[in-house]
Amino acid sequence: MLMGEKVDLGAAERAYIPYFVKWINDPEVTQWLKVEPPLSEAMEHDWVDWIRREGRMVFTILTKDGRPIGNAGIEEVSWKYRRAAIGIMIGEKDCWGKGYGSDAISTILRYCFEELGLRRVELITDSDNHRAQKAYMKCGFQVEGVMRQYRTKNGRTVDELMMSILSTDWFAKHPPKGPGE
Amino acid sequence: MCYPHHQIRMLRGELVGLVPLQSTDELALYRWFNDPRVRRRAGRQTWKACYSLEQIQDLIKERSAQPSRIDLVVFDPIKESPLGMVELTHLHPMRDSAEIVLVWGETDDEEKELETLALTAAFAFNSQGLHRIWTRVPSVDQFLISIFQEMGFKLEGVLREDHFIGGTWRDSVLLSLLSAEARPC
């Protein structure tokens, strides 16, 4: 488990599937995600099987009292180039705007840079998803460019922002700890 | 989890008992493998950040099926509760050497950890016919190093910057014990 200040990141357990189904079929939640609802409970079981079989780095975001509120993941890991992409969603809408997402991202970044030894972490986000961009920038991400007409959403094309953070950016704000810390 | 005293395959000391890892240990392993303190202490980048209960069940099945390793769960015989694990890996009929890994899931207890190592060493040398057991411990973990040394393990060398943790490369030490050096248990 990865432990943050406001949230912990645990494994995506099968017991959480009812939450996953609720989140992934809520248009307000999925409007920023690159998924194609509707997704059934059986499809979510397949997803959990896939995570288990492939050993994917998918986490369920839990509040400190153990309530599942969203999912996050580290994807497209290139060990050769020491880079990865991350993704996140907060599915419980009453948890939006409370800093849980930012804390989950920071917790993942700490793991990426301080334990996995990655050099670069990147993500893409809809250009009109300003709330997410604010959270990513708060965690140290920088906008690198605009990927024009990257996808279609509700019948219109959408630009995506490519954002990234490098290990040097991270360690400038979070110096490596001494052996005893 | 209950560890009955009549368990057939059991190594029994005064403070701890050791039994083969089995599926009923899944909740203890689930807790330990998801504990950041235990993960950091292991100093192994092969450990994932978190494990689902199903992944732990898979892991127990995989480990039990591998002839090249023996996984023993350490338990408190009075409370009948699990304390940690000890792993003998790299076992091979043509090789009389194996790696020993101590994964202590609960609060450290020097005497119990010492007895765990003593029981495991006796098992390795007397039952498995090994000549040498060795371990790799993160240099920062002076407590664990001292326990191995107290058991008679000799320092063989330093694996420089062999694992990455806390944002920096750190050393590990290599320790070994030969059968002739082992104290009677």
Q: Closest partner residue to A3 among B36, B51, B166, by Cβ?
A: B36
φ/ψ (deg, to 5) at A67: -85, 125
Give the list of residues 6+ apart from residue A134 with CB closer than 8 angstroms, or none.
none
- Model confidence at B78: pLDDT above 50: yes
B47 vs chain A: nearest CA distance in angstroms? Answer: 11
Residue of B nearest to A179 (CA): B140
DSSP state of A94: G
Number of domains making up chain B: 1
Going by pLDDT thresholds of 50, 70 and 90, the confidence category of residue A34 is confident
Contact flag A113-B167 (C-beta cutoff 8 Å) = yes
Q: Which structural domain, as residue segments, surrounds residue B131?
A: 11-181
- Helix residue spans in B53-101 (DSSP H): 53-65
Residue B1 lies in a domain: no
> What is residue B165's predicted lDDT score, i.e. its pLDDT?
86
Contact flag A59-B50 (C-beta cutoff 8 Å) = yes
β-pair partners for A123: A163
Question: Both ends of chain A: CA-CA distance in Å?
Answer: 19
Which of 22-61 (A) contact B at CB < 8 A?
A: 48, 51-52, 55, 57, 59
Q: A13 — contact with chain B (CB < 8 Å)?
A: yes
Strand B132-138 relative to strand B97-104: parallel, antiparallel, unpaired? parallel
Q: A114 — contact with chain B (CB < 8 Å)?
A: yes
pLDDT 10s digits, B105-162: 999 999 999 999 999 999 999 999 999 999 999 999 999 999 999 999 999 999 999 8
ipTM greater than 0.85:
no
Contact flag B167-A174 (C-beta cutoff 8 Å) = yes
CATH number of the domain encompassing residue B175: 3.40.630.30
Architecture in CATH for domain A2-173: 3-Layer(aba) Sandwich (3.40)
Residue B4 lies in a domain: no
